[in-house]
Amino acid sequence: MVAVDRGRYTVIVDTQEITAMRARELGRKSVVVGDDVRLVGDISGQPGSLARIVRVEERRSVLTRTADDDDSTAEGRLERVVVANADQLVIVSALADPPPRTGFIDRCLVAAYAADIEPLLCLTKADLAGASELLDYYAELEVPHILLSPDADLEPLRDRLSDLVSVFVGHSGVGKSTLVNRLIPTAGRAVGVVSAIGKGRHTSTSAVALPLPFGRDSWIVDTPGVRSFGLAHVSADDVLHGFPDLVEGSTQCPPNCEHLADDCKLDAWVAAGHADVRRLESFRRLLTSRDQTST
């Protein structure tokens, strides 16, 4: 399933677009972009035809965020699947205009590791600023990165995207649409336009999967409405997995350490020079702002 708009789902079957609705028998089960689904009914794909989705296959991965909309309940916010079956989270960040925000990148890394999908840092506008400062901050992590500028060779990125389903996330203005258009010349994403969906309140159904014209079954999922990942559903331990450079220091902490109180051993460990203090600060900021949806 590649897109949903007001209850109408677009499903690709052998390169043909078929419009479908959910069958009643699915009950409350959600159908999200990336899902493999089973169809019945009119699957001709002719104008006006409507098939029915009767089954959602088991998901290989689920990229989730905590919902920030009206569905939130008193017991806690709803955990929402953003994209199913993704292999890779491509974090698009500009090196300047707008400047990179490590808090956002760190949050995305936590979401990727929590979903057990691979992160890839895509650093745009390399023609405007160098990457060494940002890369230095992530030096201890083995996160692959790609540098992009208007005349950059896209081949290294194509290699990274081939045969995979990759979800693109990034703040407005970082060059995400420009990049999608370069990868898929027929995509026609509006450049220099702030997404109306991204600015609005209803941000849960805006992901769309676009087939890449290379590799085998390669897709990118654009997420104009996902400004960031609320991480209220992620445990302190899973947040720590987004900071592998701090994990070793945490082994000296008391049992069930929340890493926020005075008895946390990470301060001493960082003071001894084992990790960058900015990483510890970012880790703690995420721990205390886990339920917020933007950084």
Name the residues that contact ligand GDP, by CB under 6 A.
124-125, 127-128, 148-150, 170, 172-178, 191-192
Least separation in angstroms between residue 93's CB and Mg ion is 14
**Is the CB of 65 or the CB of 171 nearer to Mg ion?**
171
**Is the CB of 19 or the CB of 177 nearer to ligand GDP?**
177
**Is the CB of 191 or the CB of 196 nearer to ligand GDP?**
191
Name the pairing type of β-strands 62-66 and 118-124.
Answer: unpaired
Least separation in angstroms between residue 105's CB and ligand GDP is 15
- The item of ligand GDP, Mg ion, none sharing an interface with residue 250, based on CB under 5 to 8 Å by kind, is none
**Is the CB of 169 or the CB of 231 nearer to ligand GDP?**
169
Least separation in angstroms between residue 169's CB and ligand GDP is 10
Round to whole Å and give the CA distance between 273 and 288: 24
**Which residue number is nearest to ligand GDP in terms of Cβ?**
175
Bridge partners (DSSP) of residue 12 are 17
* CB neighbour list of residue 208: distance below 8 Å, 6 or more residues apart: 2, 3, 33, 221, 222
Residues in the chain: 295
Among the listed ranges 98-106, 176-184, 233-241, 244-252, the one in contact with Mg ion (CB under 5 A) is 176-184
Round to whole Å and give the CA distance between 292 and 92: 20
Contact 115, 241 (CB under 8 A): no
Round to whole Å and give the CA distance between 50 and 40: 10
Among the listed ranges 122-130, 136-144, 175-183, 204-212, the one in contact with Mg ion (CB under 5 A) is 175-183
How many residues touch Mg ion under the rule CB under 5 A: the total is: 1
Least separation in angstroms between residue 149's CB and Mg ion is 18
**Is the CB of 35 or the CB of 222 nearer to ligand GDP?**
222
- The item of Mg ion, ligand GDP, none sharing an interface with residue 205, based on CB under 5 to 8 Å by kind, is none
Round to whole Å and give the CA distance between 191 and 244: 35
Name the pairing type of β-strands 37-41 and 51-56.
Answer: antiparallel
CB atoms inside a 10 Å sphere around CB 177: 23
**Is the CB of 149 or the CB of 205 nearer to ligand GDP?**
149
- The item of Mg ion, ligand GDP, none sharing an interface with residue 149, based on CB under 5 to 8 Å by kind, is ligand GDP
**Is the CB of 67 or the CB of 174 nearer to Mg ion?**
174
- The residue written with tokens 């995305």 in the block is 108
Least separation in angstroms between residue 113's CB and ligand GDP is 24
Ranges assigned E (strand) in the chain? 3-5, 8-13, 16-22, 37-41, 51-56, 62-66, 79-84, 88-94, 118-124, 145-147, 165-169, 208-211, 219-222
Any contact of residue 177 with Mg ion (CB under 5 A)?
yes
- Whose CA is closest to 4, among 223, 230, 293? 223
Any contact of residue 66 with Mg ion (CB under 5 A)?
no
Q: What is the DSSP letter of 132?
A: H
- The item of ligand GDP, Mg ion, none sharing an interface with residue 292, based on CB under 5 to 8 Å by kind, is none
Instruction: Give me the residues that bind Mg ion (CB under 5 A), please.
Output: 177
